């Protein structure tokens, strides 16, 4: 599950409702990916210190998740300029890179005593579409080097170039002899179905688009997941579908059918996964006003 809307800067970082973490574990999820906008809490001049009060806030949530038996991925969600390709121009690109490396250096030191088995580092959510893949590979290599100094055994999650798309997976390169990496791809295809009515995804004009599970609906998904699996087998590298989901504009029965089929493919190929999203988002499966899950969606992804 993606534990969104709490530390990703999108909902003003509203605190989680008490009992939320238990509700995630009770629903049967084994792990949470926590999108965190570290850059919003890091000063803009060297040595680019992360606000200690923000660490305290994040730690409380991480500790609560671990205590509830959930494995935790610390996802560096959005770094302006690098994950958006745009953003404030007050720092040069090189300064932004130094700042990003300083963030990972601090995170690595801060979390080094957390267990390798249950805490994972995700370098960045969806690298920008304007960031050349070779440059992303260089950033990955540098971050891995920084993290390995304090954390020789932590699993590092690396997202594919160009917004975490599955078809860019072959463009990734890995530091030599580095095998403790999980490769992350996000899957929202067809976008015209999963993001219907959402203008930011250029699907604003789409409405009432069904997904029925017909052979024609399933075929492209089958092809994409088989492609990922072949890549994983050929390279010996595990794959995580770090985001998949459907927005609430989609017909409800279609949403359940699609999620259920994606889950069946995830299971078929032995990938791990994180649903997008818990709450505070049009992709949500949990309504914090009523304190209830949409049980048809939970059933779909069992
Ligand atoms: C990406 C974005 C997130 C968005 C999701 C679905 O992960 O970072 O904010 O809600 O995709 O579009």
pLDDT tens readout for residues 112-130? 999 999 999 999 999 999 9
The strand pairing partners of 122, in sequence order, are 75, 157
pLDDT of 77 reads: 96
Using the atom order of ligand 1, give the atom closest to the CA of residue 201.
12
Using the atom order of ligand 1, give the atom closest to the CA of residue 35.
8
pLDDT of 81 reads: 85
> Where do runs of H (alpha helix) occur along 115-214?
133-150, 161-164, 191-194
Ligand 1 mutation target, pool 2, 5, 248, 276, most atoms within 8 A of CB:
276
- Ligand 1 atom 11, closest CA: 243
pLDDT of 103 reads: 98
Query: 125-173: per-residue pLDDT in tens?
Result: 999 999 999 999 999 999 999 999 999 999 999 999 999 999 999 999 9
The CA 240 to ligand 1 mean position distance, Å, reads 16
Confidence of residue 24 (pLDDT cuts 50, 70, 90): very high
Whether pTM > 0.95 for this model: the answer is yes
* Interatomic CA distance for residues 28 and 24, integer angstroms: 7
The CA 80 to ligand 1 mean position distance, Å, reads 14
Q: Give the strands of the sheet with 119-122, arranged side by side.
A: 31-36, 71-76, 119-122, 156-159, 181-187, 239-244, 272-273
Using the atom order of ligand 1, give the atom closest to the CA of residue 282.
10
The CA 283 to ligand 1 mean position distance, Å, reads 9
Percent of the chain residues past pLDDT 90, beyond the cut = 94
Q: Name all residues whose Cβ lies below 6 A of ligand 1.
A: 125-126, 201, 243, 276, 281, 283
**H or E element that contains 260:** helix 252-269
Using the atom order of ligand 1, give the atom closest to the CA of residue 10.
9
Longest dimension (CA), the chain: 55
pLDDT of 87 reads: 82
- The answer to whether 247 and 198 are in contact (CB under 8 A) is yes
For residue 97, give Cα distances in angstroms to 46, 158, 232, 275, 292: 12, 17, 29, 29, 41
Taking all residues of the chain, what is their mean pLDDT, rounded to a whole number?
A: 96
β-bridge pairing 71-76 and 181-187: unpaired
- Ligand 1 atom 9, closest CA: 10
Percent of the chain residues past pLDDT 70, beyond the cut = 100
The CA 152 to ligand 1 mean position distance, Å, reads 30
Q: What is the mean pLDDT of residues 217-244?
A: 98
For residue 20, give Cα distances in angstroms to 48, 238, 277: 32, 29, 13
The CA 150 to ligand 1 mean position distance, Å, reads 31
């Amino acid at each position: 599950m993606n534990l969104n809307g709490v530390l990703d800067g999108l909902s003003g970082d509203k605190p989680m409702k008490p009992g939320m973490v238990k509700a995630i574990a009770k629903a049967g999820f084994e792990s949470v990916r926590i999108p965190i906008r570290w850059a919003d809490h890091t000063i803009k001049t060297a040595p680019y210190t992360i606000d200690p009060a923000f660490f305290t806030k994040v730690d409380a949530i991480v500790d609560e998740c671990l205590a509830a038996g959930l494995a935790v991925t610390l996802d560096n969600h959005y770094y302006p300029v690098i994950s958006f390709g745009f953003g404030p121009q007050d720092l040069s690109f090189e300064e932004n890179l130094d700042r990003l490396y300083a963030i990972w250096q601090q995170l690595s030191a801060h979390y080094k005593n957390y267990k390798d088995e249950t805490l994972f580092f995700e370098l960045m959510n969806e690298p920008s579409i304007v960031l050349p893949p070779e440059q992303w590979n260089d950033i990955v290599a540098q971050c891995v080097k920084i993290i390995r100094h304090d954390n020789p055994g932590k699993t590092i999650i690396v997202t594919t170039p160009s917004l975490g798309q599955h078809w860019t997976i072959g463009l990734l390169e890995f530091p030599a002899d580095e095998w403790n990496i999980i490769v992350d791809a996000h899957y929202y295809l067809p976008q015209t179905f999963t993001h219907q009515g959402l203008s930011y995804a250029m699907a604003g004009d789409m409405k009432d688009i069904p997904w029925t599970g017909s052979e024609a609906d399933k075929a492209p998904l089958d092809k994409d997941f088989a492609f990922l699996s072949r890549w994983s087998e050929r390279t010996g590298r595990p794959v995580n579908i770090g985001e998949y989901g459907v927005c609430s504009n989609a017909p409800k029965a279609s949403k359940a059918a699609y999620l259920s089929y994606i889950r069946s493919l995830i299971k078929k190929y032995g990938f791990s996964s994180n649903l997008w999203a818990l709450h505070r988002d049009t992709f949500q499966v949990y309504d914090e006003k009523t304190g209830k899950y949409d049980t048809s969606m939970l059933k779909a992804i069992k």
